[in-house]
Amino acid sequence: MSTWTRRWVRDNAWAYLFIAPQILGLLVFVIGPVIFAFVISFMKWDIGSTPEWVGLTNYSKQVSDPIFWKVLKNTSVFALLNIPLTVIGALVLALMLNQNLKGKTLLRAAYFIPVVTSSVAVALVWTWLYNPSYGLINSVLMSLGIEGPGWLSDMKWALPSIVIMTVWQGVGYNMILFLAGLQGVPSQLHEAAKIDGAGSWQRFWRITIPMISPTTFFVVIMLLIGSMQVFSEPYMMTRGGPADATNVLVLHIYNTAFQFFRMGEASAISFILFVIILIVTLIQFKFSKWVNYDV
Amino acid sequence: MSDIQPAKRAEVSVWNSGKNKFLARPLLYLVLIFGAVLMVTPFVWMVSTSLKGEGAVFEYPPKVIPNPLHYDNYKQAWTTLPIGIAYLNSLKIAVIVTAGSLLTCSMAGYAFAKMQFVGQKFLFMLMLATMMIPGQVTLIPMFMWFSKINWVNTHWPLIIPPVLSNAFGVFLLRQYMSSIPKELEDAGRVDGLNPWQIYWKIVLPNCKPALAALGIFTLMGNWNNFLTPLIYLDDQKKFTLPLIIASFQGLYSTDWPLLMAASCISLIPVLIVYIFAQRYFIEGITLSGMKG
């Protein structure tokens, strides 16, 4: 072997040594299971019984299942409420905190604290806040002369109640991302625009918003993926009730697989979730012309 | 990193420069403080309820500071379910997963950033592509495999997969390592260090911010993880903290002081860690956002 070949072999050996743990993990814990999940999504496989090939039945069954459509609708409503509320809340907070204020650190900490707490524990706290008879929210409303709804036990309010809690928990995280985005806006741009006579409102729409569009894009994509996968909150607060009003995709997968032990069907639903996330993300990338990367 | 421009910042310019201020200072403070109070209220309500006696919970209007204070709820929460063991279980899992992921992710990140090898581009793209796959897809086959090898009701399914498959971590560290100047490694090579020594002695010490960021994310994510422990663990002695909290809810669904005391016990250490490590949390998020 020439020195060059020997060196090439040695360099490759080192590199594969370095990537070995993660690449093996990728094969065994991601790619392998995904292929296996795809295969069992075409089987009737109830735990304890022998698997049986059923073709597309697990998929076609969903189309005619009203619960599936309800779950899909709930997940979409959750995402459509959660994303704009969190984005607007986080952006407004970031704009307000992106200045020389006294006590800025303390204020920022207050908005950020819910981010680090466990969803399970705060879901329990919010269930108590939402308690129709003795919860803090309805007590406050009562002192204002308003009779509050049943929140989590109310068909109409249950899902929005979970959204409110999710926004409360997630707004601080995204506020930090927007703060970082705002710090990247060069102040020369604002100064130049000011000289040209642009008002602050105009500068906000013409400079700040386009300049932070990469951050906004990132935030929206992450919120979307997160919203599609919401689980702990509805599991803890409502178990999907009342009457499936808060039943969402992942909760539905969990129930199908680990309450009813229909593994094949649950795999099919998880693939539908995957495809939905994929399509919506690709659409976002397709329509991402508003995102301004070149500054 | 290059897209952060620390030199001149656009502070103040958006809201309060020029004649047309969006919000006057006092009003701005008022809004911000009101919002902050709203954010903290659930925690205050949690602590307040956790110190109430059974009857005091149903008083109207509710008192913020209960009289008398019932510390008993904490003693009861601590003794009715093995919350102390759950603490240790959560801590054990989160620490092992964090240390393990930092090692494997930085190793792979180093190879992808600094080495040339056959199939490099393909493997990197493959890894990125798998980041799109939601964890729920792999949940069911993994459960079936792990029940075959008797890993159900052990901590292994909560430790091994997250340590060995963390594409996000590899990506984050690879991006960070790419910005480390090549001269540093060359100096090591001249000194006769092998690739492992270069990685361990030269590259790793230069990635502390990225390692801290990934570490905090991994720690937080695993400490708060709920779905996987819920699926794998049956034995209360093996439960993690979120599972124990969920069990409290199942067993004492209307004993709010007890439930709030349990929540409080589970949240306090996280809040203390946060107060001391706030800077790292913020920097970590900023860093990962920039990369994304």
Token pair listed for A125:
């706290």
Which chain A residue's Cα is nearest to B275?
A: A109
B256 and A139 within 8 Å at the Cβ level: the answer is no
Inform me whether the C-beta atom of residue B13 falls under 8 Å from chain A C-beta atoms: yes
Mean of the pLDDT values across residues A150-160? 95
CA dihedral of residues A145, A237, A154, A85 (deg, nearest 10): 70
**What percent of chain A shows pLDDT beyond 70?**
99
Q: Does B16 touch chain A (CB under 8 A)?
A: yes
CA distance B191 to chain A (A): 18
On the question of pLDDT at B21 being above 70, the answer is no
For residues A235-267, b (16+ Cβ closer than 10 Å) or e, as one string? bbbbebeeebbbbbbbbbbbbbbbeeebbbbbb
Q: Could you tell me if B154 lies within 8 Å of chain A, comparing CB atoms?
A: no
Report the C-alpha gap between A104 and A175 in whole angstroms.
13
Q: Where does residue B279 rank: exposed (0-12), middle (13-18), buried (19+ CB within 10 A)?
A: exposed
ipTM field: 0.88
Residues B136, A253: C-beta atoms closer than 8 Å = yes
- The predicted pLDDT at position A294 comes to 57
In this complex, do B105 and A22 lie within 8 Å of one another by their Cβ atoms? yes
Residues from chain B that touch A125, judged by Cβ atoms under 8 A, are 42-43, 45-46, 260, 263
**pLDDT in the model for residue B189:** 87
Q: What is the dihedral of CA A23, A26, A32, A38, to 10 degrees?
A: -140
- Interface membership of B115 toward A (CB under 8 Å): yes
Q: How many whole angstroms separate alpha carbon A159 and alpha carbon A163?
A: 6
Q: What angle do CA A51, A35, B131 make, to 5 degrees?
A: 140
From chain A, the residues in CB contact with B110 under 8 A are 18
Task: Answer whether A229 sits within 8 Å of B134, measured CB to CB.
Answer: yes
Question: Do residues A238 and A162 lie in contact, with contact meaning Cβ atoms separated by under 8 Å?
Answer: yes
Give me the pLDDT at residue B217, please.
Answer: 86
pLDDT number for residue B58: 81
Q: Identify the residue with better confidence: B23 or A151.
A: A151
Residue B6 has pLDDT above 60, yes or no: no
> How much is the average pLDDT of B109-118?
94
Residue B162 has pLDDT above 50, yes or no: yes
Calpha distance B122→B125 (Å, rounded)? 5
Chain center to CA of A169 = 12
Q: Select the more confidently predicted residue: A35 or B254.
A: A35
Predicted local distance difference test score (pLDDT) of residue A292: 73
B contacts of A215 (beta carbons < 8 Å)? 289
Given a contact cutoff of 8 angstroms between Cβ atoms, the answer to whether B51 and B230 are in contact is no
For residue B70, the 8-state DSSP code is -
Query: What are the structure tokens assigned to A196, written together?
Result: 């040209």
Q: Is B178 on the interface with A (CB under 8 A)?
A: no
CB B259 within 8 A of CB A124: yes
pLDDT greater than 60 at residue B7: no
- Which residue stretches of A144-248 are H helix? 158-183, 187-195, 200-203, 209-211, 213-228, 232-237
Query: For all residues of chain A together, what is the average pLDDT?
Result: 92
- With beta carbons under 8 A apart, name residues in chain B contacting A216: none
Structure tokens at A203: 């500068």
Q: Which tokens belong to A106? A: 């303390």
- Given a cut of 70, whether residue A48 has pLDDT beyond it is yes
Q: Would you state the pLDDT for residue B155?
A: 97
Judged against a pLDDT cut of 70, whether residue B14 lies above it is answered with: no
Among A87, A92, A101, A124, which would you mutate to test the B interface (most chain B Cβ atoms within 10 Å of its Cβ)? A124
Interchain proximity A176–B112, CB inside 8 Å? no
Neighbours of B61 (CB within 10 A): 10
Q: Chain B contacts of A208, Cβ < 8 Å?
A: 10, 14
Nearest to A37 among B137, B274, B282 (CB): B137
pLDDT of residue B5: 41
Residue among B272, B271, B270, B286 nearest B209 (CA):
B286
Distance between CA A278 and CA A285 in Å, rounded? 11
Q: What is the distance between the alpha carbons of residues A97 and B161, in angstroms, rounded to a whole number?
A: 39
**Inter-chain residue contact A118 with B60, CB threshold 8 Å:** no
Contact criterion met (CB < 8 Å) for B15 and A19: no
**What pLDDT digit, counting tens, does each position of B221-252 carry?**
999 999 999 999 999 999 999 999 999 998 88
* Interchain pair A15, B120: CB under 8 A: yes
Confidence of residue A261 (pLDDT cuts 50, 70, 90): very high
Residues B5, B2: Cα–Cα separation, whole Å? 7
Amino acid B22: pLDDT: 53
Q: How many CB atoms lie within 10 A of CB A40?
A: 20
Residue whose token pair is 């409080």: B264
Q: How confident is the model over B31-81, as pLDDT tens digits?
A: 999 999 999 999 999 999 999 987 888 887 888 888 788 889 999 999 999
Contact between residue A167 and residue A82 where contact means Cβ atoms under 8 Å apart: yes
B60 touches chain A (CB under 8 A): yes
Flag if B104 and A204 touch (Cβ within 8 Å). Answer: no
- The reported pLDDT for the residue numbered A237 is 95
Residue A23: list chain B partners with CB under 8 A: 108, 123
Q: What is the pLDDT of residue B289?
A: 67
Which pLDDT does position A33 carry in this prediction?
96
Amino acid residing at A238:
T
CB B63 within 8 A of CB B45: no
Least confident of A134-138, B22-26, B264-268: B22-26
Q: How many CB pairs under 8 A join A and B?
A: 328
Minimal Cβ distance to B133: which of A34, A106, A250: A34
Question: What pLDDT does B81 receive?
Answer: 92
Contacts of A225 in chain B (CB under 8 A): 134
Helix/strand/coil for A146: coil
Which residues of chain A lie closer than 8 angstroms to B8, CB-CB?
186-188
Residues A207/A189, Cβ–Cβ less than 8 Å: yes
Q: Do A112 and B120 touch (CB under 8 A)?
A: no
For helices B83-114 and B208-224, what crossing angle results, to 10°? 140
Mention every residue, 6+ apart, whose C-beta is less than 8 A from residue A111.
A93, A97, A171, A172, A175, B35, B36, B39
Is the CB of A40 less than 8 angstroms away from the CB of B140?
yes
The residue of chain A nearest to residue B107, with distances taken between CA atoms, is A18
For A220-251, the pLDDT digits (tens) are 999 999 999 999 999 999 999 899 999 999 99
| pLDDT tens, residue by residue, B100-113 | 999 999 999 999 99
Residues of B in contact with A31 (CB under 8 A): 126, 130
pLDDT, residue A1, reads 66
Percent of chain A whose predicted confidence (pLDDT) is above 90? 70
